[in-house]
Amino acid sequence: MLKNNKGFTLIEMLIVMLIISVLLILIIPNLTSQSKNVNDKGCDALVAVVQAQADAYYLDKGQTASSIQTLIENNYLEENQKTCGDSQITVSNGKATIKSPQN
């Protein structure tokens, strides 16, 4: 007969799978509910980058940027930095703000 039975039984494997499944069921809804919070923080960070580039433009040129297009044309920003998700980033009188599509 086999004297050295090493390994897991089917019941032990099913219990482990059950525990993992319960943990996933509890964790995944929390992760998806936090995605809006993460996106908002990312947009805030992008607005801060645009504001820093508007300040750099002011220091270099001696005048405030009239629009975000001015920063793009002068190579302070790239074209893909004009939007964050569905929101538009605008620059007016050297101040960067984010404009939601609802506004």
Q: Is residue 69 part of a domain?
A: yes
Number of domains comprising the chain: 1
Q: Is residue 70 part of a domain?
A: yes
- Alpha-carbon distance of 40 to 77, in angstroms, equals 20
Q: pTM score, two decimals? A: 0.66
Q: Is residue 28 part of a domain?
A: no
Residue range 67-97, pLDDT digits in tens: 999 999 999 999 999 998 888 999 988 899 9
Residue range 13-63, pLDDT digits in tens: 999 999 999 999 888 887 777 877 888 888 899 999 999 999 999 999 999
b/e map 48-86, b = 16+ CB within 10 Å: eebbebbbebeeeeeeebeebebbbeeebbeeebbebee
Q: Is residue 19 part of a domain?
A: no
Domain holding 90, by residue range, is 40-99
